[in-house]
Structure 1
Amino acid sequence: MARPSKYPPELRERAVRMVLESRVDYPHEAAAIRSIAAKLGITSTESVRKWVRQAEIDGGVRAGKTSEELAEIKALKRENAELRRANEILKSASAFFAAELDRPNRY
């Protein structure tokens, strides 16, 4: 299971908004990300870059899987794993009971 985020969603949204609004003030996007991450006390500029990319995808500016699609895929994978475990349990139980039926009675 993934660890909870170190940064609250409000801070993420603020950082993304600031980067998107200040792109014109910096020579390139990486400089804007570095500056804003430092201003907001975010230690990893890579985190901010990922947040910006995901916001662009969610906004339809960039191609990729949206946050909703990623959440749905994650939920489906979890459900798939649970169903596989249930199938294994049922296979084991059916093999156990089939073996019980094949045994001769002692009485």
Structure 2
Amino acid sequence: MDGITLLTFFVLAVVIGFEVVSKVSTTLHTPLMSGANAIHGVILVGAIVVTGRTTNVFTLILGLLAVILATVNMVGGFVVTDRMLEMFKGRAPKTAPAKKREDS
């Protein structure tokens, strides 16, 4: 494929992805993030496998970069998911201070 076709696919994917994600309700974001974290885990394993089998220095550097970026992406996804789950927990009810009993 030529560069214009690839650029067209990229632009269409960005526009469609933005439209799809922006229409998702907030209650569905946490399950979607969990699914995305699973996909990032598969990408990380693939990057490790490909990097481990390389014999070229340039490919090794690109593979290490892919492993680092996939790790950051996956860990960041777990951090965001954890923060979102904390938002759904709600606040703990405040306990009223115990009243002192006056002995007369």
TM-score (normalizing by structure 2): 0.34
Name which structure has the greater RCO, CA cutoff 8 Å, separation 6+: 2
